[in-house]
Structure 1
Amino acid sequence: MPDSALLFDIGNVLVHFDFTPAARRFAELSDATEAEVLARLRPFKDDLESGRISDDDFIRESTRLIGFHGTREEFVTAWGDIFTENAPMIALVEELSGQVPLYLLSNTSGLHKEWLFAKFPVFRHFAGGIYSHEARCMKPHDAIFQQAVAAYGLDPARTFYIDDLEDNIATGQRLGFVSHHYHHDRHAALEAELRAWPGTPA
């Protein structure tokens, strides 16, 4: 069991995301407007991220619902190209890499995971991760946290957990994780808390 570890969410922690560019690109390549794209694809989010629908089935059904005329590659690009790096967090991860084990805990789909890992070098610093589409469960439910504990031998009391959503943080706190509710505008607060945490190398 590691002496300490850090457990990171992905969206709005390591990377920012905005679906507006995706909706715009889909609208250019389909019969639907931007608003219609968002309305028709939004209901798939939880099914996709929980693994209840496969990536291929999602693409096929979405193509039908919005009248998409592009190629599969164009669909994957439009769906994935919504992320931009959170530069201060990237720098922090690079500083911590090799000093303390780093893990990921994310509600995400296979499409987004593949896109993120291909586009952002920061993910090479992580020793592993639990992803909702593979785990078949999502935050804020206990089960996905418990999978992380079991998979990596984590002691919640010695694991610093970072997430941007209050419901996820509430579960982390209840399960005994050292939990930080993150916002990029308050990044300095995270760094100060990490410096004070006994698990961070001096």
Structure 2
Amino acid sequence: MTTVRHVVFDLGGVLLHWDPEVPYRRLIPDEAERTRFLTEVCSRAWNAEQDRGRTWEEAEDTLIAEHPDHEDLIRAYRANWLEMVPHHLDDSVAALELLLDADIDVTALTNFAADTFEVAREEYPFLKRFRGVTVSGRIGLVKPDEAIYRHHHENYGLDPARTLFFDDVEKNVEGARAAGWQAERFESPEKLRADLIRYGVLAA
């Protein structure tokens, strides 16, 4: 393994817990109906377009035109977004802070809508400690498009071969490797720490 000089974190699923069901358990108590709504109406594919840079206004208007009977529930997605990020992953954040306190170069690369990232950043102050964060919604590129990894390492002056990336989605890990980075899938905070030790970033 090439010596790691830069560590890059994904956010959702690695450092932040994200679950769109949280507010909708209150708004749609019936489990089957809630699952149908989050699968067929406010779906992950619909939300992903906000990660790509679409505004919430356009997203809501488009979906309400298709599902006018669900207008209030559609608008509730953005209105109650912060409830979808109810906590951070303590042990993952502890590993992040070890790196930061040891003056390791740490940045973040995330598929995130531009405005909701700012909401999360105010709620979770550790998000302000990165040297820099590439937010997909700001630049109109999303993982696993190789261009977003290239944008990140060029923008922050990273050596791709000396960069170690953590993401909980395998296709995003593969995208990083295709861009010349070293990368590991995040499965647990324990594996994260073990990987950091194995790559020589943290001491055993």
Instruction: Pick closer, same or farther for the CA change 1:26–1:112 going to 2, 3 Å.
Output: farther
Query: Matched residues in 1 for 2:96 and 2:179: separation?
Result: 24
TM-score by length of 1: 0.82
**Runs of 5+ in structure 2 lacking a partner?**
none
- Whether 1:79 and 2:81 are equivalent positions in the alignment is yes
CA contact (8 A) 1:107 1:133 kept: yes
Percent sequence identity over aligned pairs: 23
- Paired residues in the alignment total 191
CA contact (8 A) 2:8 2:108 kept: yes
TM-score by length of 2: 0.82
Query: Matched residues in 1 for 2:91 and 2:42: separation?
Result: 31
Query: Matched residues in 1 for 2:197 and 2:35: separation?
Result: 44
Report what 2:11 is aligned to.
Answer: 10
Report what 2:135 is aligned to.
Answer: 131
Q: Secondary structure at the match of 2:8?
A: strand
**What pairs with 1:25-174 in structure 2 (closer than 5 Å)?**
25-27=26-28, 33-38=33-38, 39-42=40-43, 43-51=45-53, 53-62=54-63, 65=67, 66-68=70-72, 76-83=78-85, 84-98=87-101, 99-174=103-178
Query: Matched residues in 2 for 1:171 and 1:95: separation?
Result: 26
Matched letter for residue 162 of structure 1: F
Q: Which moved more, 1:19-28 or 1:125-134?
A: 19-28
- State the shift of 1:178 in Å: 1.8
Query: Matched residues in 2 for 1:24 and 1:68: separation?
Result: 15
**Runs of 5+ in structure 1 lacking a partner?**
none
Report what 2:194 is aligned to.
Answer: 192
Instruction: Pick closer, same or farther for the CA change 1:77–1:92 going to 2, 3 Å.
Output: farther
Query: Matched residues in 2 for 1:175 and 1:129: separation?
Result: 18
Matched letter for residue 170 of structure 2: E
- State the shift of 1:22 in Å: 2.9
Q: Secondary structure at the match of 2:142?
A: coil
Query: Matched residues in 2 for 1:90 and 1:117: separation?
Result: 14
Q: Secondary structure at the match of 1:67?
A: helix
Query: Matched residues in 2 for 1:166 and 1:201: separation?
Result: 26
Instruction: Pick closer, same or farther for the CA change 1:157–1:69 going to 2, 3 Å.
Output: closer
Query: Matched residues in 2 for 1:134 and 1:109: separation?
Result: 7
- State the shift of 1:57 in Å: 2.2
Query: Matched residues in 2 for 1:101 and 1:77: separation?
Result: 35
Instruction: Pick closer, same or farther for the CA change 1:121–1:130 going to 2, 3 Å.
Output: same
